[in-house]
Structure 1
Amino acid sequence: MPDLSRRAFGGLVGGGAVTAVAGTATAAEAASAERPFKARPANASRRRPNFLIILGDDLGWADLSSYGAPHIRTPNLDRLARQGVRFTDAYSGSATCSPTRFSLYTGRYPGRTKGGLAEPIASKTQGLDPNHPTLASLLKKAGYSTALIGKWHCGWLPDYSPTKSGWDEFFGNFGGALEYFSKLGQLGEYDLYEGDAEYKDLRYYTTVLTERAVEYVSRDHGKPWLLNLNFTTPHWPWLAEGDEETSAEITAKIRAATTQAEIKTALSHYDGGSVAKYTQMVESLDAAVGEVLAALRRSRQENDTVVLFASDNGGERWSYLWPLSGAKSNLQEGGIRVPTIVRWPSRIDGHQVSHEPNFSPDWTATLLELGGARPDPAYPLDGTSLAGYLLRGEELPERDLFWRVRDNRALRRDDWKYYRDHDGADHLYNLAEDQREQADLAPDQPELLAELKKAWERIAGGLLPYPAS
């Protein structure tokens, strides 16, 4: 066995690298196929890459076969992982949809902005301030074309929209969820738009988004581009291609609802779904990603395109999260640790695995640096660029990863995690030895607990307070 650090070994054991890929390889073969990340020697290419950022929605950390799912087949995403770097210790910026998207779009903690305090956004009065710099607006200023296809969930018209925040083009839904066929969303209204105008298409939503993304990457682009491709799959309601009958039942319940709570109850479909249906949805997401990547390859832009695949938060209900505890909406590992894959054929070797902890704002900083864009000094980033690590093998500076969700708090420093649960109790875990967060070391390490707690409170003190509930 190669000489691995404690973190690397822990990542291999718990990170799905030793699991068979959909039953097609032995555990030993899967483990030996990946090697610890090492940057490729610098080459002379200075061409600025395109950026294709693909988000799954409520996709759990181990929902891909390359991350450990024994019953879900994801050959396209597994292939993407083999062609690039699979991260075992990557995190979303928060435990729910909207705050993570704020953190990715702005490169800052969600609590820096009023809209980011909503967990998630559920009102037309909340949203991403159009005056705030974003990944799209900063790359656009640096000469990029920008587009967002799919779920926005950072506010509704008339005040909020991707096209008001730096994206040249938008095709998708404004809200946090929608019925996959009728396109009725969380406010009970039709929610599929092209720009600021309604767009009628009653086919399965994943299919519609895939077609749009294929068309975008297939264009003859005259300059580098950014495409945020945000699927709603596998978010509830639990529907797959061919489920029109169930769709009609859910749609009828939404239309009969008289309050937003009733709409959410109908749309969330918590009286339905199954492991088998969820598996079908994740596999349809994988197929959709495969179609988009095939189009990228046909366009001959593959080598010069950075593909980043991740989830917006941890898994929910039907997700496969082993060995993690918790799920979406809380700050245990299952709520924030997400599958994350990066591929850039012209600059990064494949068949690699990285155990460097990172979270959504880091990728904002990374993409800005790779694209030659400067952050706005009036809105300093909270993320740390991984560009030097990925391209030159530079060590990342010591830093803390921070999360805040009303009555939940968490901070990761190296292998250590400070976590406060919903009951207000503080916990301390060594994630290298205990990914499942079962062995609470707070009583044994009071000084370290106090240090991490103080670090959390120092960061939290610079954020906006939550509004009174």
Structure 2
Amino acid sequence: MHSKIKPFISKLVVLIIISITACMPTTDGSKKRPNIIIFFTDDQGYGDVGSYGAEGFETPHLDSLASDGIRFTNFYVPATVCTPSRAGLLTGRYPKRYNLHEAVLFPFSEGGLSLNEYTMAEMLRNNGYTTSIIGKWHLGHKEEYMPNNQGFDMFYGVPYSNDMDNYYYKNIDFQSPPLPFYRNKTVIESGPDQDYLTKRYTEEAIDQIKNRGGKPFFMYVAQNMPHTPLHASPAFRGKSEKGLYGDVIMELDWSVGQIVKTLKEQKIYDNTIFIFTSDNGPRIGSARPLRGKKAETWDGGQRVPGIVAWPGKIPKGVVSSEFTSTLDLFPTLAKISGSKIPADLELDGLDISDYLLDPKTTKLPERPFYFYARNGEMEAVRMGKWKLHIKKSIGWNTDKDGVFPVSLYNLDADIGEKNNVIDVFPEVVEELTNLMKEFETEFQ
């Protein structure tokens, strides 16, 4: 071989090797793809966070998180109660699409989230993420529906609500067992001391972060509190001016702070998307200045706190009035993480990643959002500033106030849904009524 060709070939081989290795996925995927944490509380109201106007207790860690990113003031969940809201979060689809939109699952229920549904955990795991759920599942307690069969590598927590612990359902003569506490598919405890649930979940989250390995991770921290019965560890009892409820919220805030502190100590906070929200409105907390509460399709039942932070990527200290929902998280996190969505998957959420990264110059499109009641029926729709209610199963006293009147509200001017302007804007009523009819035809 010619003497001048040898070094040329050697250089060429080196270049090819460099090119190939550059195209290969890095073993430490966390350097390329962000870690994702969704911190999901249970029955925490719109007004139960300091930066949203909470009174009687403080939430400094949540307020700090909000100052590190975007605090949404028009952030919604697709249901008024636990099970369908959690299903919507993990699928990006209205629970009506897979018949999980009515009421909640109980310890005597036989069903759960259909295995045909493609969950956020499955999507991220297929993209090389480690996936875990810590806390409350509530999407089916039969083994086939449990987290380890729905895309989660790890499960540490309970299968349903804390009030179902050893509860007797007299109408059907069913005695539920002591609340089972799982480590993956194994029950490691029955009837745990609920005073320590928030603390235990926090410690597990910290342990998983410290022992995360080389992959990026998705962690779904689904706290049981402040769902009743309320419980707080001894360190937080008596800390707030608002009794046990305030103590519970302050411990949840502490939990957020501990997780953020660990992320910073591990030097991965800047490469972690941290999302905080609640599954629905409050039962005993505050939704001020909204009307209604949990189980009602008034905004107090479905508009919740929504905070998204990703230091260095999402601008700091933004307060956004753009309409968004937990349905948007699936397509948004898919885009940000570079995960693939099946071509035939019909999502109801919108990819808002461009808005998160550049909220000053990006505008989200107006789109309808449908409100399904606890009984499974559609009761309202929101489009832009307008919200139309056509019926009301909960949250209206027919004995006192008579039949519920079809009602239209301008939420920009009337956040408390007090001033019915249906007679002033008949064309808006017609448009929104048609939207509801068209959407319902998809399920006939």
Range of TM-score over shorter length = 0.7 to 0.9
The corresponding residue for 1:435 is: 415
State the shift of 1:240 in Å.
2.1
- Give structure 1 stretches of 5+ with no counterpart: 1-44, 244-273, 465-469
- Is 1:184–1:191's contact at 8 Å kept on the other side of the alignment? no
Amino acid corresponding to residue 288 of structure 2 in structure 1: W
2:145 aligned counterpart, secondary structure:
coil
Measured in 2, the distance between the counterparts of 1:327 and 1:234 equals 14
Of the structure 1 ranges 58-67 and 454-463, higher mean CA displacement relative to structure 2 is found in 454-463
The corresponding residue for 1:399 is: 367
Amino acid corresponding to residue 410 of structure 2 in structure 1: N
Indicate yes or no: 2:55 matched with 1:70. yes
The corresponding residue for 1:137 is: 122
The corresponding residue for 1:218 is: 210
The corresponding residue for 1:276 is: 243
Could you say if the C-alpha distance between residues 112 and 282 of structure 1 is closer, same or farther in structure 2, counting changes exceeding 3 Å? same
Could you say if the C-alpha distance between residues 219 and 184 of structure 1 is closer, same or farther in structure 2, counting changes exceeding 3 Å? farther
Indicate yes or no: 2:407 matched with 1:415. no
Amino acid corresponding to residue 250 of structure 2 in structure 1: E
State the shift of 1:177 in Å.
2.4
Indicate yes or no: 2:140 matched with 1:155. yes
Indicate yes or no: 2:273 matched with 1:306. yes
- Is 2:134–2:205's contact at 8 Å kept on the other side of the alignment? yes
Q: Aligned residues, how many? A: 386
State the shift of 1:53 in Å.
0.4
Indicate yes or no: 2:351 matched with 1:385. yes
Amino acid corresponding to residue 221 of structure 1 in structure 2: G
Could you say if the C-alpha distance between residues 70 and 190 of structure 1 is closer, same or farther in structure 2, counting changes exceeding 3 Å? closer
Seq. identity, %: 32
2:78 to 93, 111, 132: 93
The corresponding residue for 1:13 is: none
- Is 1:331–1:408's contact at 8 Å kept on the other side of the alignment? no
1:108 aligned counterpart, secondary structure:
coil
Amino acid corresponding to residue 387 of structure 1 in structure 2: S
Indicate yes or no: 2:326 matched with 1:360. yes
Provide Cα deviations, 1:139-167, integer angstroms capped at 9, x if missing partner: 11111111111000000022211110101
Q: How does 1:82-121 map to 2 (within 5 A)?
A: 82-114=67-99, 116-121=100-105
Measured in 1, the distance between the counterparts of 2:339 and 2:443 equals 25
- Is 2:127–2:339's contact at 8 Å kept on the other side of the alignment? yes
Amino acid corresponding to residue 228 of structure 1 in structure 2: Y
Measured in 1, the distance between the counterparts of 2:45 and 2:259 equals 21
TM, length-normalised to structure 1: 0.78
Measured in 2, the distance between the counterparts of 1:315 and 1:295 equals 29
- Structure exhibiting the larger radius of gyration computed from Cα positions: 2
RMSD: 2.1
- Give structure 2 stretches of 5+ with no counterpart: 1-29, 169-175, 236-240, 394-402
Measured in 2, the distance between the counterparts of 1:363 and 1:72 equals 29
Amino acid corresponding to residue 190 of structure 1 in structure 2: L
Measured in 2, the distance between the counterparts of 1:55 and 1:463 equals 29
State the shift of 1:220 in Å.
4.1
Amino acid corresponding to residue 78 of structure 2 in structure 1: G
- Is 1:175–1:185's contact at 8 Å kept on the other side of the alignment? no
Measured in 2, the distance between the counterparts of 1:151 and 1:194 equals 12
Measured in 2, the distance between the counterparts of 1:185 and 1:175 equals 12
State the shift of 1:408 in Å.
5.2
Provide Cα deviations, 1:350-369, integer angstroms capped at 9, x if missing partner: 11111101111111111111
The corresponding residue for 1:347 is: 313
Indicate yes or no: 2:227 matched with 1:235. yes
State the shift of 1:46 in Å.
8.8
The corresponding residue for 1:47 is: 32
Indicate yes or no: 2:256 matched with 1:289. yes
State the shift of 1:296 in Å.
1.2
Provide Cα deviations, 1:247-276, integer angstroms capped at 9, x if missing partner: xxxxxxxxxxxxxxxxxxxxxxxxxxx941
Q: How does 1:153-232 map to 2 (within 5 A)?
A: 153-178=138-163, 184=166, 187-200=176-189, 202=193, 204-232=196-224
Amino acid corresponding to residue 399 of structure 1 in structure 2: R
2:251 aligned counterpart, secondary structure:
helix
